[in-house]
Amino acid sequence: NAGVMQNPRHLVRRRGQEARLRCSPMKGHSHVYWYRQLPEEGLKFMVYLQKENIIDESGMPKERFSAEFPKEGPSILRIQQVVRGDSAAYFCASSDYSGNTIYFGEGSWLTVV
């Protein structure tokens, strides 16, 4: 599990503000995934990215949510105009090309007040 770095670990935002969550993949991994976990539920896939490309965003809400993985720097999950229903744990994961070992970061807990 060591190596996937997420920050911040905890984030509090007021309704209408923006939340930015960052993820640096494990060394040698070029595939990044974002998942969301609501309380007492399993993780739900949001988006799959490679460097400078969004491969699959089928789990992303159509509005307010966006993700990027630039050539340099971490992957960013951006939530604009947050609402209370966005309160959740957001996990980033990374893998190599095979996807046989997918490691998660420690998660970012977003609380919207």
Partner 1 sequence: AQKITQTQPGMFVQEKEAVTLDCTYDTSDPSYGLFWYKQPSSGEMIFLIYQGSYDQQNATEGRYSLNFQKARKSANLVISASQLGDSAMYFCAMREGPAAGNKLTFGGGTRVLVKP
Q: Which of 5, 7, 30, 59 binds partner 1 (CB under 8 A)?
A: 59
Q: How far is the CB of 13 from partner 1 (least distance, A)?
A: 19
- β-strands 5-7, 19-24: how paired? antiparallel
- Cis ω for the linkage preceding 8 (within 30 of 0): yes
Q: How far is the CB of 77 from partner 1 (least distance, A)?
A: 15
DSSP-based three-state secondary structure for 28: coil
Q: Which of 21, 31, 60, 110 binds partner 1 (CB under 8 A)?
A: 31
**Cα gap 55→100, rounded to integer Å:** 18
Site membership for partner 1, residue 56 (CB under 8 A): yes
Site membership for partner 1, residue 52 (CB under 8 A): no
- Using CB under 8 A as the binding criterion, the count of chain residues that bind partner 1 stands at 27
DSSP state of 16: T
